[in-house]
Chain A
């Protein structure tokens, strides 16, 4: 599963980068997106959901950042 590491990237650049990275995979495939705590984890999952991707899970890692798992939606 591709990992899109957006730690240290602030809003809305992280969302745009996630969009670009998701263009590289096929619809139906899953990817993991790493996000910082705070604004990124509040905003990016919601924006990706609105773009039509299916959010499968979100968990906080021991290091404190978040790992979002999603399935790429149809274009």
Chain B
């Protein structure tokens, strides 16, 4: 692990948005890299390996939120690392009370389950909102391409889940019954005429009927994101609840900004508080009203506050 011989001259701008995290050892830091949506081009990966080998320890760490973290970095090497990584346009991530790097599943380009382009959304949010100070606490965003929800979107401050609303062309239907068979929430049943009957209420907009239909009789009527707000994990977990449906993909950045605006205003003088706790304090209706002004088509009529998950239910002797 080479060290620069000159006295440390650190560009403090590199530290401004965080991403350099103090380790146990003297002078040693973890450098968290910015990997929106977990997509890493092969040339960037090579460059990271090169830099890690030159300045870091014997391994890197894959963080829970899809970042690559360089381990055992001497703070004197911050500048040179930022510069060398920059050659591969690899940037350092954030920490603290800021909008974090968005998490996303693989999306829809190669994953047959994906309903929306989560990778595109993650890149847009990263480009427009990354590192924005919230003034209060961290702010996490995640994108799931479908209701299988591998990224666990509802455990984020704002969680997006790809959704499609199905419609049936009865003429094209070959009465095979696969849609009813595949419909997990039982929104589709087979009618007396041996054609599917759709019930709106149980539908979770997963699109399995569209995907499975051999005759393309099912198709999408609407597509967008189901949005849950107010989630977090940690010592006092909250699961975010439903605030908007079928949000168009191109309105994601603006939607998050609208939520941030409300968060900043309502958390005023409350100190270090997460969005979910602000919603519990103010009531979800206040946020719904705020969102409805800009998103009348998408904001749900009513919702429940973020749900407390009681994790400490074991009996202690």
Given contacts A42-B178, A42-B182, A50-B112, contact A55 B215 (CB under 8 A): yes
Other-chain residue from A46, A59, A68 in contact with B212 (beta carbon distance below 8 A): A46
Among B112, B176, B177, B212, residue most surrounded by chain A Cβ atoms (within 10 Å): B176
Inter-chain CA distance A57–B173, complex, in Å, is 10
Q: B177-215 interface mask toward A, CB cutoff 8 Å, 1 = contact, 0 = none?
A: 110011000000000000000000000000000011011
B150 interface residue per 8 A CB criterion: no
For the complex, what is the distance from the CA of A57 to the CA of B178, rounded to whole Å?
11
The complex places the Cα of A56 from the Cα of B182 at a distance, in Å, of 19
CA distance A56 to B211 in the complex (A): 16
Flag A49-73 by CB within 8 Å of B: 1 or 0 each.
1100001111110000000100000
Nearest-neighbor residue (CB-CB) of B174 within chain A: A57
| Min distance, Cβ A52 to any Cβ of chain B, angstroms | 13
Query: When the two chains form their complex, are residues A58 and B214 in contact, meaning their CB atoms are under 8 A apart?
Result: yes
- A41 is an interface residue with CB less than 8 A from chain B: yes
Q: Complex: how many Å from CA A46 to CA B176? A: 13
Interface residues in A2-41 (C-beta closer than 8 Å to B): 41
Interface size on A, residues (CB 8 A): 14
Q: Which residues of A contact B214 (CB under 8 A)?
A: 45-46, 49, 55, 57-58, 68
Given contacts A50-B112, A55-B214, A58-B214, contact A42 B181 (CB under 8 A): yes
A41 CB contacts on chain B under 8 angstroms: 178, 181
Report B-chain residues with C-beta under 8 Å of the C-beta of A60: 177
Identify the closest chain A residue to B214 (Cβ): A55
Bound form: Cα–Cα A55–B182 in Å: 17
- A55 CA to B214 CA in the complex, in Å? 6
Contacts of A57 in B (CB 8 A): 174, 176, 214
Inter-chain contacts of A47 with B (CB < 8 A): 112
Tally chain B residues at the interface, Cβ within 8 Å.
12
Alpha-carbon gap, A47 to B211, bound state (A): 9
Interface pair B178/A58, CB less than 8 Å apart? yes
Q: List residues of chain B with CB within 8 A of the CB of A58.
A: 174, 176-178, 214
- B216 neighbours in A (Cβ, 8 Å): 49
For B176, list chain A residues within 8 Å (CB).
Answer: 57-59
Which A residues are CB-close (under 8 A) to B174? 56-58
Q: B215 to chain A: which residues have CB within 8 Å?
A: 55
A58–B182 Cα gap in the complex (Å)?
14
Residue of A nearest to B208 (CB): A42
A44 to B182, CA, bound (A): 13
Task: Report yes or no: A46 in contact with B181, Cβ–Cβ below 8 A.
Answer: no
Smallest CB-CB separation from A60: which chain B residue?
A: B177
Give the shortest distance, in Å, between B112 (CB) and chain A (any CB).
Answer: 7
CA distance A49 to B216 in the complex (A): 9
Q: Let me know if A45 and B178 touch, CB within 8 A.
A: yes
Query: A42: which B residues are within 8 A, CB to CB?
Result: 178, 181-182, 212
| CB-defined contacts of A55 to chain B, threshold 8 Å | 214-215
Q: Which residues of A are interface residues toward B (Cβ below 8 A)?
A: 41-42, 45-47, 49-50, 55-60, 68
Not counting A46-B214, A57-B214, A58-B178, a sample of 15 additional A-B residue pairs whose C-beta atoms are within 8 angstroms of each other reads A41-B178, A42-B178, A42-B181, A42-B212, A45-B178, A45-B212, A46-B112, A46-B211, A46-B212, A47-B112, A49-B216, A55-B215, A57-B174, A59-B176, A68-B214
23 of the cross-chain contacts (CB-CB < 8 Å) are: A41-B178, A42-B181, A42-B182, A42-B212, A45-B178, A45-B214, A46-B112, A46-B211, A46-B212, A49-B214, A49-B216, A55-B214, A55-B215, A56-B174, A57-B174, A58-B174, A58-B176, A58-B177, A58-B178, A58-B214, A59-B176, A60-B177, A68-B214
